[in-house]
Amino acid sequence: MKMNVFRLACLLVLGALLSACAGTFSGSFPRSEAQVAATDPQAPALDIQSWQTEQGAKVLFVASDALPMLDIRLVSDAGSARDGAHPGLASLTSALLGEGADGMSVDDIARGFEDQGASFSSSSYRDMGVISLRTLSEAQYREPVLALFNQVIGSPTFEQDTLARIRTQMMQGLRMETQVPGPQVNKAFQSTVFAGHPYGQPSDGTLESLPAIARDQLQAFYRTYYAAGNTVIAMVGDLDRAQAEKIAGDISAALPEGQAAPQLERATPLAERQRQHITFPSAQTHILLGNQATWRGNPDHVALYVGNQVLGGGGFASILTDEVRQKRGYVYGISSHFGPMAAGGPFQVRLQTGNDNADDALTLTLDLIDQFVQDGPTAEQLEETRASILGSFALGTADNSDIIGQLGAIGFYDLPLDYLQWFNEQVRTVTAEDIQAAFQRNLTPDNLAIVSIGPKAPQIRPADSDAGAAAAEEPADRAP
Amino acid sequence: MKRLITVLALGLWSLTAQAALPTHAFTLDNGLKVLVREDHRAPVVTVMVWFKAGSIDEAPHEAGLAHVLEHMMFKGTEKLGPGDFSKLVSRYGGSDNAFTSYDYTAYFQQYEVSRLPLALELEAERLGHLKIDDEEFARELDVVMEERRMRTDDNPNALAWEKFQAVARPGTGYAHPIIGWRSLLAQLQPEQARSWYQRFYVPGNATLVVAGDVTREQVEPLVEKFFADLPSGQTPPRPRQTVNPPAGERRLALNLPVKVPSLYMMYNVPSLVTLEDKRDFYALTMLAGVLDGGMSARIETDLVRGERLVAGAGASYSGIQRGDGTFTLTAAPSPDVTLEQVEKGLLAQIERLQTTLPTDAEMARVRAGVLAGQVFEKDSVMGQAMELGMLSTLGLDIDLSARFAENLEAVTAEDVQRVAQQWLVPERLTVGTVKPKAPTSDQPQAEPQP
């Protein structure tokens, strides 16, 4: 605690003597800094074209002729949030795509893609069911690959025998997850913070739920949630607009007909602290702190994002890494993030620490969060973070893999096509007061759930003994 | 069929030629090798520094030192305080990190391209002027111990793997884990880190890679400005580490707190570096592709989907290493299948490669994947920098990838059979089994806290 107060004082009051404080640089080193600081980083805009297919799929397309390749990503509102009473249904459905289509065995499909050097994959998240294809873009490779792709996504067979095999693999995967602490504590966090909400269910199902899922449920799930009207088609690559329209039209016609799924009810934050501990004989205690805090469309999104970069999202430059790892060596990794999704999204802080340090690390982390929510960032912290975010813009759209990811998210969450520029503008103008207010509106530190796994539950040290926990190294008064 | 395949491959070749990007190589007087890859698609740059210093260079009692030094490279120099390096990178919109492997240690920074001078100045500073403070070292060692707990101690499969490698790669630096053994790690001293830095962190032992929206004309004067003054230094001799003659058939049985058993098999085979006749590298690469080059390869088709012996399995040839390479098979069995059955199934696949020629279609599919992959990998500037840095550090041709397809095209079905017979033999094999310690319930106990 005290050290952090010192740092604040240092940054606010002793601005001119910053070189005496952590995080600053002696003499004129680096010599190149002045030149770099004076150069505005480029932030090239993506030229996104967008249209709707006849069947109601939204298309986002960026033409890029730098490499003879094409990426396609279908993003359907088909994530585990749509599992209903059958945890694992969305994951199983997704896993069976590519495993059999009308008139084609899985062997035929695998050979069909790999003969042309193409790669196909499907994956499932809480909101999204995602199907990805990467192929060479010259017609001689692209055309057979796309014909196969449309058959695979448009007429999957969900054979009973294949279902049995994939289910067995998933259940082996679930058993392996119980060998290590991470996945167990993640599930416990999700079920604690989102109790009663679809986001609280285990996405990959359970050893009990998976055996109960039947073939006709997969077929129904596929028809409802992979429908054209419930799917975004994102494309990046060496195509012209006419080619892109034709490809998107064919994909859209191949998918089941149907509309967008109804919106889910937004998750509500826990109104008081919940604690959950899993006893497990590990060398480290994993601790997750958090609560429901945001959603896609939250007007505070940018302020929360920027603030979180200062607190724990900015890697080595962030407060949590600096205090808990760099200054005390309690952890290898500590980070915080806001994860906005369609119907909610957690604020989450995650750390892993040797069992002997668990109480100290938990107490310190809670104090740092408390203090940040109370005070917001310092002017210096905000300016550094603002520069960092603005300066990193070009890295976020540098290659086709980056761009296809951006297109998928922009399309799926109905963001404006110039969202990335808009976001940058907001980052430019957000103030420390905005951030402080946004954190206070969306987070109540006392209500953060504490979910942990390890030999014993970590305890918060009482306030009067926390000098030991925080191990202050420099004495200082509170900043005015 | 054969003709069609050839046509496909030729078509793909012209594509990879089309995707070729300019690469410039030069060396400073102090021995620093510099590689510049021009890729002007986006205004970004990746700067990497590669040191030919990895875990295999550690004496047995130094296990883990290369990696600890990697951590210390972020903890301060003559002009930078602890953590300042990464804070400067972040302040200018970059991201940075590093990784330690058996063969090398590498550092990277990624930025919008106008930040290039800063990136180079920062790398030159820690190459030439690292400061290892005793207290910072002690604190960082705690961080590394946490990293070890997280990666290895709390993951029974990772724990099993480090024990397995100790048996499978005897007499080489590959036999100890990169992160180090727990008890030795705890005893490491700052003097050892300083000694490591002096031994290996010299320009003549490093390759600087700059990839992205840059030209040689931009990069060269900056590199001269920041790196030319660093003294060249010397590194100790480092003999080639091979498992030759073969170590003999080895078995390791482990009982650990796992819920699903697993099987590891590793053959000691030569690498591109240790091979006299480089053709075997391409033949082993082809062999690995036939076995596990994708969903249509033999492991997925026969063992996962056909016989359903395994819930998951993989085969890979690690043939780009400073010492001998490895050919590795790993598998997690389907429920109610024993590890003995899985081992038999995998060995039957090896035997099939030794007795029956792979088909033209199988080999064509592997080539198509490799050729398309060469186009796809150009999508990532970081990926390109990685490839250049690694090849340079291993003393290999930096144009290897341009000739990879050609060399793979020359591999015949008979070559594949021959390398299977020559290298995948019992006296080069280690088999490891990991079985549950004792029967346990599927679910750990959970309890709400007051």
Q: Do residue B199 and residue B110 come from a single domain? A: yes
CA of A370 vs chain B CAs: smallest distance (Å): 21
Burial class of residue B341, CB neighbours in 10 A (0-12, 13-18, 19+): middle
Q: Does A273 touch chain B (CB under 8 A)?
A: no
Q: Which of B83, B372, B444 sits opposite A316 (nearest CB)?
A: B83
Q: Which of A30, A176, A322 sits opposite B88 (nearest CB)?
A: A30
Cβ distance B223 to B47 under 8 Å? no
Q: Do residue B164 and residue B289 come from a single domain? A: no
**Two structure tokens written together for B344:** 């038999």
**Two structure tokens written together for B240:** 């080639």
Q: What's the topology of domain A266-468?
A: Cytochrome Bc1 Complex; Chain A, domain 1 (3.30.830)
Residues A278, B379: C-beta atoms closer than 8 Å: no
| Element of type H or E holding A386 | helix A379-391
- The CATH number that applies at residue B217 is 3.30.830.10
Would you give the distance in Å from CA A429 to the centre of its chain?
25
Residues B446, A188: C-beta atoms closer than 8 Å: yes
**Two structure tokens written together for B226:** 């920041």
CA of A393 vs chain B CAs: smallest distance (Å): 8
Residues A179, B257: C-beta atoms closer than 8 Å: yes
- ipTM for the predicted complex: 0.92
Residue A417 is predicted with a pLDDT of: 97
Cβ distance B354 to B416 under 8 Å? no
Q: Do residue B60 and residue B174 come from a single domain? A: yes
Q: Do residue B424 and residue B288 come from a single domain? A: yes
Q: Do residue B33 and residue B124 come from a single domain? A: yes
Q: Do residue B79 and residue B133 come from a single domain? A: yes
Q: Do residue B310 and residue B197 come from a single domain? A: no
Q: Which of A68, A107, A316 sits opposite B15 (nearest CB)?
A: A68
Instruction: Note down the domain range covering B144.
Output: 22-227
A23 contact residues in B (CB cutoff 8 A): 81, 83-84, 87
Q: Do residue B214 and residue B260 come from a single domain? A: no
Is residue B131 one of the residues assigned to a domain? yes
Tell me which residues of chain A, numbers 232 to 251, contact chain B at a CB-CB cutoff of 8 Å. none
Instruction: Collapse the DSSP code of A240 into the 3-class scheme (helix H, G, I; strand E, B; otherwise coil) and give the result.
Output: coil
Q: Which of B293, B311, B378 sits opposite A67 (nearest CB)?
A: B378
Q: Do residue B297 and residue B160 come from a single domain? A: no
Residue A325 carries which DSSP code? I
Q: Does A264 touch chain B (CB under 8 A)?
A: no
Would you give the distance in Å from CA A340 to the centre of its chain?
8
Domain covering A49-254 in this structure, CATH number: 3.30.830.10
Q: Do residue B28 and residue B108 come from a single domain? A: yes
- Residues with Cβ < 8 Å from A385, sequence gap 6 or more? A306, A309, A310, A314, A317, A377
- Residues with Cβ < 8 Å from B350, sequence gap 6 or more? B420, B424
Q: Does A279 touch chain B (CB under 8 A)?
A: yes
Q: Which of B111, B118, B260 sits opposite A172 (nearest CB)?
A: B260
Residue B11 is predicted with a pLDDT of: 54
**Two structure tokens written together for B434:** 């990991």
Residue B166 is predicted with a pLDDT of: 98
Low-confidence ranges of chain A (pLDDT < 50): 1-26, 466-480
Q: Do residue B191 and residue B257 come from a single domain? A: no
Residues B448, A275: C-beta atoms closer than 8 Å: yes
Tell me which residues of chain B, numbers 87 to 116, contact chain A at a CB-CB cutoff of 8 Å. 87-88, 90-95, 110-115
Residues B305, A165: C-beta atoms closer than 8 Å: yes
Query: Partners of B263 in the beta sheet?
Result: B331, B433
Residues B118, A33: C-beta atoms closer than 8 Å: yes
Is residue B14 one of the residues assigned to a domain? no
d(CA A291, CA A348): 7
Tell me which residues of chain A, numbers 184 to 223, contact chain B at a CB-CB cutoff of 8 Å. 184, 188, 207
CATH 3.30.830.10 in chain A: give the residue spans. Answer: 49-254, 266-468
Establish whether B220 is a catalytic residue. Answer: no
Tell me which residues of chain A, numbers 284 to 313, contact chain B at a CB-CB cutoff of 8 Å. 284
| Element of type H or E holding A162 | helix A160-177
Q: Look-up: residue for tokens 């990136």?
A: B119
3-state secondary structure chain B: CHHHHHHHHHHHHHHHHHCCCCEEEEECCCCCEEEEEECCCCCEEEEEEEECCCHHHCCHHHCCHHHHHHHHCCCCECCCCCCHHHHHHHHCCCEEEEEECCCCEEEEEEEEHHHHHHHHHHHHHHHHCECCCHHHHHHHHHHHHHHHHHHHHCCHHHHHHHHHHHHHCCCCHHHCCCCCCHHHHHHCCHHHHHHHHHHHCCHHHEEEEEEECCCHHHHHHHHHHHHCCCCCCCCCCCCCCCCCCCCCCEEEEEEECCCCCEEEEEEEECCCCCCCCCHHHHHHHHHHHHHHCCCCCHHHHHHHHHCCCEEEEEEEEECCCCCCEEEEEEEEECCCCCHHHHHHHHHHHHHHHHHCCCCHHHHHHHHHHHHHHHHHHHHCHHHHHHHHHHHHHCCCCCCHHHHHHHHHHCCCHHHHHHHHHHHCCHHHEEEEEEEECCCCCCCCCEEECC
Is residue B379 one of the residues assigned to a domain? yes
Global pTM value? 0.92
B301 contact residues in A (CB cutoff 8 A): 107, 110
Where are the alpha helices (H) located in A194-240, listed in sequence order?
215-225
Amino acid type, B114? S
Q: Helix B400-409 crosses helix B2-18 at what angle (to 10 degrees)?
A: 170
Residues B154, A169: C-beta atoms closer than 8 Å: no
Cβ distance A304 to A338 under 8 Å? yes
Q: What is the pLDDT along chain B (450 residues), one digit of tens a residue?
A: 333 444 444 455 555 555 579 999 999 999 999 999 999 999 999 999 999 999 999 999 999 999 999 999 999 999 999 999 999 999 999 999 999 999 999 999 999 999 999 999 999 999 999 999 999 999 999 999 999 999 999 999 999 999 999 999 999 999 999 999 999 999 999 999 999 999 999 999 999 999 999 999 999 999 999 999 999 999 999 999 999 999 999 999 999 999 999 999 999 999 999 999 999 999 999 999 999 999 999 999 999 999 999 999 999 999 999 999 999 999 999 999 999 999 999 999 999 999 999 999 999 999 999 999 999 999 999 999 999 999 999 999 999 988 898 999 999 999 999 999 999 999 999 999 999 997 555 444 444 444
**Could you write out the DSSP letters of every residue in A176-200?**
HHTTSHHHHHHHHHHHHHTTTSGGG
Tell me which residues of chain B, numbers 318 to 337, contact chain A at a CB-CB cutoff of 8 Å. 332, 334-335
Look at chain B and report how many structural domains it folds into.
2
Is residue B49 one of the residues assigned to a domain? yes
